[in-house]
Amino acid sequence: MKRFLPFLCCLLFLAGCTAPSADAEPAQVQFFSMDTVMSIRVYNEGGEDAIQAARQEVERLDKLLSRTNPDSQISLLNSHAGDGTLISLDAEVADLLSFAKSVSQLLPGCFDITIAPVMDAWGFTKEERHVPSAEALADAMSLVNSEALIVDEASSSARLEQAGMEVDLGAVAKGFAAGRADAVLREYGVTSALLDLGGNVTAIGSKLDGSAWQVAVKDPQNTSEALCVLSLEDQTASTSGGYERYFEENGQTYHHIIDPKTGYPADSGLLSVTVISSDHMLADALSTTLFVAGPEEALDFWRSRDDFELVLCTEDNRVIVTEGLEAGYRPAGEDRGYTYEIARR
Amino acid sequence: MRSPAADRRRPTLWDGLVVLAVVAFAVLLVFLLRPAEGSAVTAVITLDGETVAQYRLDQLSQPVTLDVEGAAYPLTIRAEQGRICIEHSDCPSQDCVRTGWISRPGQQIICLPNRLVISLSGTEPEPFDAVTG
């Protein structure tokens, strides 16, 4: 029997060895809202109720903010453009309009939520993409002016001063929704979750093992590959790039991020911009703005503030990562010709 | 106190049996503890949230073509061993066709006008948790 004792002990101890279990399957949902695909994954146990509540919150905001929904508050605001009516809005809508106006002032000429008529002229709204005639573009450009969007936060109301003007919150609504969904999940006690609102990824808390979420940034020239991988906790990574929506006409490619200064697709030397911030709405707004601004202006702006970090991918295959991300990032596109550099303050 | 085994020079039949049992058990463990699958890749196709088809891409021996019924804009999906793409779509944006082939767990093809998503999942752990862009 003694001979067998070590063998039995081995058996007993080995019983503890099982194949490494896959990470616990999160509760998750995928749905369409805000003209994009969204998913919510909650890793805490019993996350189903939290997920449904967060989804309902996003869908509620879509109904309020959508320009293509005739019953939304934004449609109401747009339909009264130029007639002098001050439109009463929910406080959160007035705050969001006010925030969008403030971003226009931070980087003048790079961001304007009244760009909607120009997006329509290019056919990006109704998916009939085409190069507009010079006349149609000039007409649309004459309606772009966020100074003529008057917002009164005290009375939660707003008006557009010129007939034909329209507001489109596409560049800020997903970030705003991420902030609200984040708050709803936390009310349910969620501490470990991932939101993907159309490519804007919000990391809530950390993984259940306490480590940071690993979020890949898409390679704008080969979207099935990663440019780099970032470590995120309680932050949003929002990416804007010309590769997301575009069309070709007469051999030329035209993408959907329109420069408010020219009315044409932004041509700033950048292929994509990823903004990482604990302010979800700021991350969303700045990714579009800094894509239009270009690499030098983007880095100058980053140096002037301390509330976000950047990954810039330039047309000459440089990937510029700001120093706040340095510790947790790893490059992933060296074999595709990218060179990586750290931008310092 | 010395054990009887310490007085013997030659291994007995019992020693041999123990060796055999340990070896047999080790071999058994190798089989029990190996991962369930090599590198399974499953493509799930959903139309407005409803699953309409599912393929084990690693096990496809013949290419498969699927015309998705019920899609607002007629759409054809092609799956081959290890990869899948949207071969044709009548949707106005064509973003889905331009995505091309996908083959790795975590990748997606999205046709927004059709509200159609092709998602790949697999048994191999993915090197990241989410993708921005």
Residue pLDDT tens, chain A, 345 long: 555 565 555 555 555 554 444 456 899 999 999 999 999 999 999 899 999 999 999 999 999 999 999 999 999 999 999 999 999 999 999 999 999 999 999 999 999 999 999 999 999 988 789 999 999 999 999 999 999 999 999 999 999 999 999 999 999 999 999 999 999 999 999 999 999 999 999 999 999 999 999 999 999 999 889 999 999 999 999 999 999 889 999 999 999 999 999 999 999 999 999 999 999 999 999 999 999 999 999 999 999 999 999 999 999 999 999 999 999 999 999 999 999 999 999
Q: Confirm whether pTM is higher than 0.95.
A: no
Candidates B3, B32, B107, B129: best to mutate against A (most CBs of A within 10 A) is B129
CATH architecture of residue range(s) A212-345:
Roll (3.10)
Q: Judge contact between A58 and A66, C-beta under 8 A.
A: no
Backbone angles phi, psi at A38, to 5 degrees: -125, 150
Nearest CA in chain A to B92: A127
Neighbours of A38 (CB within 10 A): 25
Residue A305: per-residue pLDDT: 97
CATH of A68-160, one of 1.10.3980.10, 3.40.50.970, 3.20.20.70, 3.30.1360.30: 1.10.3980.10
CB contact under 8 A, A213 and B48: no
CA distances (Å), origin A56, targets A59, A177, A284, B19, B31? 5, 11, 21, 63, 47
- All residues of chain B having their beta carbon less than 8 Å from the beta carbon of residue A214 are 127-129
Domain boundaries for CATH 1.10.3980.10 within chain A: 68-160
Residue A309: per-residue pLDDT: 98
Nearest CA among B132, B96, B133 for reference residue B117: B96
CB contact under 8 A, A196 and B130: yes
- pLDDT tens per residue across span B64-95: 999 998 999 999 999 999 999 999 999 998 98
**Angle at which helices A280-293 and A173-187 pack, to 10 degrees?**
160
Q: Is the dihedral of CA A276, A281, A287, A289 positive or negative?
A: negative
Domain boundaries for CATH 3.10.520.10 within chain A: 212-345
Residue B58: per-residue pLDDT: 94
Mean pLDDT for the stretch of residues B122-133: 88
